Copies of this chain bind each other. A is one copy, B any other.
Amino acid sequence: MCELFAMSSLFPTSISFSLERLTRRGGAEGPHRDGWGVAFYTGRDALLLREAGAASESELVRHIERHGPPSECVISHIRLATFGGRTLANTQPFSRELGGCMHTFAHNGDLEGIHTHLPATGSRFAPIGETDSEWAFCRLLDRLAALWDQRTDDVPPLEERHAVIDDYATTLRTLGPANFLYADSHTLFVHADRRIDIDSGAPLPGVYLLERSCHEEVPDLAASGVILKTARQALTLIASVPLTDEPWRALATGEVLAIENGAVR
List 10 tightest A-B contacts by C-beta distance, closest first.
A100-B126, A45-B89, A59-B67, A63-B63, A45-B88, A42-B88, A45-B128, A44-B128, A124-B124, A100-B128
**Complex contacts, A67 vs chain B, CB 8 Å:** 59-60
Complex CA gap A20/B56 in Å reads 29
Which of chain A's residues 25-60 have a Cβ closer than 8 Å to chain B? 42-52, 59-60
| A49 CA / B128 CA spacing, docked (Å) | 18
Q: Determine whether the beta carbon of B88 is less than 8 Å from that of A100.
A: no
Cross-chain contact A45 with B97 (CB below 8 angstroms): no
Q: How far is the CA of A88 from the CA of B125 in the complex (A)?
A: 23
- Nearest B residue to A99 by beta-carbon distance? B126
Q: Does A102 contact B (CB under 8 A)?
A: yes
* A101 contacts the other chain (CB 8 A): yes
Q: A96-B97, A97-B96, A124-B124 are in contact. Are A129 and B45 (CB under 8 A)?
A: yes
- From A46, A89, A127, A129, name the one whose CB has the most chain B CB atoms within 10 angstroms: A89
| CB-CB under 8 A for A43 and B126, given A48-B48, A49-B49, A97-B96 | no
Q: In the docked arrangement, what's the CA distance between A124 and B99, Å?
A: 8
Residue in A67, A100, A125, A129 with the greatest tally of chain B CB atoms within 10 Å: A100
Binary B-proximity of A111-135 (CB < 8 A = 1, otherwise 0)? 0000000000000111111000000
CB-nearest residue of chain B to A101: B128
A89 to B100, CA, bound (A): 10
Contact with B along A66-86 (1 / 0, CB 8 A): 110100000000000000000
Are A59 and B66 in contact, CB atoms less than 8 angstroms apart? Answer: yes
Q: Is A87 an interface residue (CB 8 A)?
A: yes
Among B51, B125, B128, which residue has its beta carbon within 8 angstroms of that of A102? B128
CB distance from A68 to the nearest CB of B (A): 10
Give chain B residues whose Cβ lies under 8 Å from the Cβ of A60: 63, 67
Residues of B within 8 A of A89 (CB): 42-45
A145 to B47, CA, bound (A): 25
Which residues of chain B have C-beta atoms less than 8 A from A125's C-beta? 97
Give A232 Cβ to nearest chain B Cβ, in Å: 26
Report yes or no: A45 in contact with B96, Cβ–Cβ below 8 A. Answer: no
A105 and B214 CA atoms in complex are apart in Å by 41
CB distance from A23 to the nearest CB of B (A): 21
How near does chain B come to A76, taking the closest CB pair, in angstroms? 16
Decide yes or no: A47 and B88 within 8 Å by CB, A59-B66, A96-B97 being known contacts: yes
